[in-house]
Structure 1
Amino acid sequence: MYTLDDRQTAAQTWFREARDRICAALESVEDDGRGEGPAGRFERVAWNRNPASNEDTSGFGGDGEGGGGVMSVMKGRVFEKAGVNISTVHGVFAPEFAKQINGAAEDPRFFATGISLVIHPRNPLVPAVHLNTRYLVTTKRWFGGGMDLNPAIADDAQTSDFHAALKVMCDRHDASYYPAHSKWAEEYFWVPHRGRHRGVGGIFYDHLDSGDWERDFAYTQDVGRTFAELYPRLVREKMALPFTEEQRAEQLRYRGLYAEFNLVHDRGTVFGLKTGGNIEAILMSLPPLARWD
């Protein structure tokens, strides 16, 4: 059986706590919303990783591989689809994929734990959002992740508010983080085949290993706490506003762009598929409705 060390256990425990904190905050927004039917609630489904079922496509096999996760999905009157997933997996990377992962070329064994969420609101004036934070162990150890705002109809005031809050959060840990991580997000969330950004940015970081594990962990925890406070406030500002059919159509067209990025460019999607993850959990980020025209 795979045994976690203290740091792996602490990270895994935090991601569970972050999941609970965020789900509670989003359910509170549902309680305050208006619309048909009762307020939405998250439904949780656990899954176990089964590398043997993916041998032909991902090249896994051998002892000591496993893990799993829990999908939490809510469909309500404010959120058309809200998915908050946690997972902890371990095993051996396929040889070609190992070359792409920090520290895995020398030894393909890995451990990964994290949280990933995507929120698709009903009201097109309310921005969609994405968050992912994770802790990976190969021959090296590091944190990665971030969050970004994805409005179908951008609002300059909310965009400024979002970035200001992220800067305050980053500055609590290192004054260099916001300029570096917001620039990284700007570059990462670019959709080359569309010639535009996916949303209005945020922060993104990877391979965070300053040499002070507690410091890096504290920053990653703060990303989750800040999200749980910031995003519900942005939603409440707009969720009761009236919208037009054309604004709804624009939202569905934007969701098509979002789906394209996640299927073609998103690192988390690729990692999940390459490590024998649960397909429903990996593709949870896709919107319930979208259009291309």
Structure 2
Amino acid sequence: MTTTTLRKTGLALLTAAALFGAGQVMLLPLRVNAQTPEQVPVAAATLSATGIGQVSGTSVESAAGALMMSIEERSSGTDVQGAVKTVQARLAKMRAALVATGVADASIHLQGFNIGPNYGYAYPMPAVDPASGGMNGAAPPFATDGMSGGMGGATTPSPVAPSVAPSVMPRPMPPPAPTGYMVNAQLGVDTNGPEQLATAMRVAIDNGATNVNSYMKGVSGNSTPPDSSKLAPAIRQATAQAKVMAQASAEAAGVTLGDISSITVLAPTPSYNGGLSQSVSWQVQVRVTYALK
């Protein structure tokens, strides 16, 4: 750079500093080294496909179930001891019937035992008070008129309101009183599979149980992933399937598959079959990515 160029550059910098200090903004042109479309890197086109391999018959599963039921008994009057004895007898009969179908006695559990009073109102209800003409001493809804024949013959209520308050105040309704007792027992039954669960439910209903509900407690048995000797064929199956799918997709798109750029093998996952998990199989997924020519 020559001396003249340095002087011109320094003068320009001094001028810019002066303008900036004076509160003015000066925009200077910037040089951008933009890349042409030919220079922008383009990511290599790829095509990926996922295949599934399956290992079946690794184990036979058993779905355990549970049954919940209620047994109720109501008594009249004060004979609560009679209701308790009746429920206890029904529980013993229910247990014996379940054991007879193959349910283990240790699998039958008493989940709850409740005793509570039943309330009701005493009958007959209090009679109409003759002094006021209303129930429980309350004033009648309309005043009677002697000329019109009273309540039954009047076509409209009398417009004349009573000049004095009723001498008898309304009496409150009596509170409800215990009319008997209810005894309720809940029984739980653990079963070893759907067949025993269905049998236990039928026995419970036939022996007078109410509110019978069931649910599956999960899958028991061996759910350990298969060893490598069983996984290897499934992985080969999944890889071959992924290749076929990728080739078909490339032909449909009008492109050509190149070399494999990556292969991903996912961990095996269980797949329970038969609705109530009677058996289990394992699935292996292989994802293969190809470069395109």
TM range (shorter): under 0.3
With the length of structure 2 as denominator, give the TM-score of the two structures.
0.22
Higher helix share: 1
With the length of structure 1 as denominator, give the TM-score of the two structures.
0.22
Higher strand share: 2
Between 1 and 2, higher relative CO (CA 8 Å, sep ≥ 6) is seen in 2
Greater Rg over alpha carbons, structure: 2
